[in-house]
Structure formats: structure tokens, C-alpha cells
Amino acid sequence: MKIVDGDKAECDRCEEIFALEDVSLLEKHTNRAYEKVLCGECLGAVGVPRGYKLRRDITYLSR
């Protein structure tokens, strides 16, 4: 996960920069170190596979 300028994140799929309010965090249930930031469009394409959970609000990561 790449946080940019303290209040933006880079989507791990399309590599565009978005505000933290506009991205979600996909986490694997069995591996807490596995985190992927996804924008709304990429989340729509990927979905939430079995064994993963989605955090829609990651604004707590801002500086």
C-alpha cells in the first residue's frame, strides 16, 4: 500500500492516485500482512473473493 502526500493512496491495480475517501482496502483473512488498496472501479472489477474482507473507510491512515 502506498500512501501519497499523507491523504492519498495509489490503487494497487490501476496505479492511479486517489483520495483516501475514494479507495477501499482488501485484506486476506488468513494473512493480515496482505493488503491491497483498490479504487471504486477496480473494486467493481475484482469484487471481494471468498476469504477476504473489505474495509471501505481507511481515512484513519491519513496524517
- For 16, phi then psi, to 5°, come to -90, 160
Model pLDDT, residue 62: 75
pLDDT at 63 over 70: no
| pTM (2 d.p.) | 0.83
CB 44 within 8 A of CB 53: no
CA dist., res. 59 & res. 51, Å (int): 24
Q: What's the mean pLDDT in 36-47?
A: 95
CA dist list (Å): 43 to 5, 6, 63:
23, 22, 24
What percent of the chain has pLDDT above 90? 71
User: Is the pLDDT assigned to residue 51 strictly greater than 90?
Assistant: yes
